[in-house]
Amino acid sequence: MPIYALKPAFRKALSPIGRLLIGAGVSADAVTVAGVIFAAIGGLGIWMGRHGDAWLLLVPAGALLRTAANALDGWIAQETKSGRPLGEVLNETADRVADAAMFLPVALVPGVPGLLVAGALAAMLVVSFLGVVIKAAGGRRVYLGVMGKPDRMFVLGLGAIWAL
């Protein structure tokens, strides 16, 4: 079962945080941007910890916070009825940038082939692009599948802990 199947329960668990953010006037777009920042922190953890030191602890933290922000931005947009096409564009763009921020530094890890990382990132981006194109063509956006975003974040975080 892909981790994405747990999203409804995850969103429900995060709803108190979402209500606090709404109460503080934090927009869905701000949470989307925060997700990119969390991904960059995870990527920094990979780069700084590429030799197997404690910097790698930033990776699971960044991955979890990125995943939480990704669940919360849509929830906030729905709850505040502030969703709009430009917000969806921002969300999709931010997701692609966040993937690059978290996975490109893996190419700097000693012993990891850069072409393997480039190929994996290209596959992530193409699959995401196809999902958006299908929706733009009138189809339904599909999020499930092998190694969806939450699955990638889990594996990357677990891999960082294992590398310590």
Task: List the chain pLDDT tens, one digit each, 164 residues.
Answer: 567 777 788 889 999 999 999 999 999 999 999 999 999 999 999 999 999 999 999 999 999 999 999 999 999 999 999 999 999 999 999 999 999 999 999 999 999 999 999 999 999 999 888 888 998 899 998 776 677 888 899 999 999 999 99
* pTM for this model (two decimals): 0.92
Q: Which of 109, 140, 104, 134 is nearest to 121 (CA)?
A: 104
| Alpha-carbon Rg for the chain in angstroms | 16
DSSP label of 109:
S
* Helix 28-48 vs helix 58-80: crossing angle, to nearest 10: 170
Tokens for 100?
């690059």
The one-letter amino acid code at 31 reads: V
pLDDT for 92: 92
- The set of residues, in sequence order, having a beta carbon less than 8 Å from that of 149 and lying 6+ positions away, is 4, 67, 70, 95, 99, 143
Distance (Å, whole) CA 99 – CA 102: 5
Q: Are 98 and 42 in contact (CB under 8 A)?
A: no
Q: Which of 39, 157, 37 is nearest to 102 (CA)?
A: 39
Q: Which of 131, 121, 54 is nearest to 92 (CA)?
A: 131
